Amino acid sequence: GQPSQPTPSRRFLSVFWGEKRGRKHPSVFTPTRFLPFPIPGLASNFPGFFLDGLRSGSRTTGNFQNLISVLSSPPILLRLLRSLARERERTAMAPVPASVAKQADQLRLDGNTFFKKDRIGAAIDAYTEAITLCPNVPVYWTNRALCYRKRNEWIKVEEDCKKALELDSGSVKAHYMLGLSLLERKEYTDGIKQLEKALDLGRGANPVSYMVEEIWQVLAKAKYMEWEDESSKRCWRLQSLKEECEKALKEHYLLDTVQADDGSEEAAAAHSDQLDYLAEVFNLAGQSDRPTEVPDYLCCSITLDIFRDPVITPSGITYERAVVLDHLQRVGRFDPVTRVPLEPQQLVPNLAIKEAVQAFLKDHGWAYRT
């Protein structure tokens, strides 16, 4: 049937690709809440249509087919899409009226309510409407990404997080969830970079927040998985090389035995020593991949875990930042070991220990296991 006449202030058309008679064509609808992108130069005059400024060559009247035939022309369609992109960019940069911003924020609150009730689909719809009204608010994108994460729709998580980071490069949640989505694709290097960025930003904002701990746990797991993957490859290469070396030594020993025309005890002993020395060399080569004990000076005296963000007190004792801050808040303003009065602002990052931890973890990735 005929579309209803839109009001002059709300007049716009939206174009999307569809399938008809085995070929792609643009279909026209008005208005729509799902693709609310105005197309400048295209005015509606129901029941007929005309193109203004696109130089179609003739006024199209009568029905949709006439308009579709004009829009299907590659030059016209290309100009139309370019115009659409310019209009979207202009609209995104334009200031949002206060009433619209208020409506968008209410949709965010509705989405939060739906999310808490585990109504993920409804939450996604609410956040999508908020994005439609105010596309420049990064929180709306990260909230929707969180919903997609619940559904394990990682491609959509990645897309929304990248958009959020375009708007706010300091978004902890965006870096965190982007890192998660990259890890799902086994892109450990890029995923770890995003998680490390999220961890640094989170520590700067609130070192004792639950999110910092959550990010660290995921980062440590990712680092361990990366080490495990690389370690297995190194072990396989070392074992293959060792077998080839043993084979070469055996062939050399047999050749010497045949040429000497005897099997002297000296030759056998030398061959045995060579095999022992070869085993020792390969044992040392694989030593860094074998889990041992983390040195005590790299561990917090309270948690006994390897340091993540070490800080030193005026007493000269190093603690994990989040742990000592929690102690100062919950127990009292004093050093946990020496009992000397201590204030949060007296804590200083122990960069020497931090560098030592990073160097140790670089060579002993197994220590990331939590």
Can you give the three-state secondary structure of 171-189, one letter per residue?
CHHHHHHHHHHHHHCCCHH
* Verdict on whether the full-model pTM lies above 0.85: no
- Which pLDDT score is estimated for 328? 94
Contact by Cβ (8 Å): 172, 143: no
Question: How many residues comprise the chain?
Answer: 370
Phi/psi for 216 (5° steps) reads: -60, -45
**Is 215 within a domain?**
no
Q: Are residues 162 and 260 in the same domain?
A: no
- In the three-class reduction of DSSP (H, G, I as helix; E, B as strand; rest coil), residue 41 is classed as coil
Q: What CATH code is carried by the domain that includes residue 125?
A: 1.25.40.10
Q: Are residues 136 and 201 in the same domain?
A: yes
Q: Are residues 89 and 120 in the same domain?
A: no
Q: What is the rounded distance in angstroms from the CA atom of residue 139 to the CA atom of residue 170?
A: 12
> Per-residue confidence of the chain (370 residues) as pLDDT tens digits?
444 433 333 333 333 333 333 444 444 433 333 333 344 444 433 333 333 333 334 443 444 455 555 555 666 666 766 766 666 656 555 677 888 999 999 999 999 999 999 999 999 999 999 999 999 999 999 999 999 999 999 999 999 999 999 999 999 999 999 999 999 998 989 999 999 999 999 988 777 677 888 999 999 999 998 888 888 888 999 999 999 999 998 888 888 777 665 557 777 888 888 899 999 998 888 887 888 889 999 999 999 999 999 999 999 999 999 899 999 999 999 999 999 999 999 999 999 999 999 999 988 888 887 5
- Domain boundary residue among 289, 314, 343? 289
- Which pLDDT score is estimated for 211? 86
**Is 219 within a domain?**
no
- Which pLDDT score is estimated for 169? 93
**Is 218 within a domain?**
no
3 preceded by a cis bond (ω within 30 of 0): no
Q: What is the rounded distance in angstroms from the CA atom of residue 168 to the CA atom of residue 142?
A: 11
**Is 36 within a domain?**
yes
60-79 in b/e form (b: 16+ CB < 10 A) is: beeeeebbbebbeeeebbee
Q: Are residues 154 and 120 in the same domain?
A: yes
Q: What is the rounded distance in angstroms from the CA atom of residue 333 to the CA atom of residue 349?
A: 18
Q: Are residues 118 and 152 in the same domain?
A: yes
Q: Are residues 107 and 155 in the same domain?
A: yes
**Is 362 within a domain?**
yes
Range(s) of the domain holding residue 123 = 98-205
Q: Are residues 326 and 303 in the same domain?
A: yes
- Which pLDDT score is estimated for 295? 92
Phi/psi for 177 (5° steps) reads: -70, -30
- Which pLDDT score is estimated for 80? 67
Cβ-proximal residues to 1 (8 Å cutoff; 6+ apart), any chain: none
- Which pLDDT score is estimated for 140? 96
Host H or E run for residue 19: strand 14-20
As for how many domains the chain has, the answer is: 4
Q: Are residues 160 and 259 in the same domain?
A: no
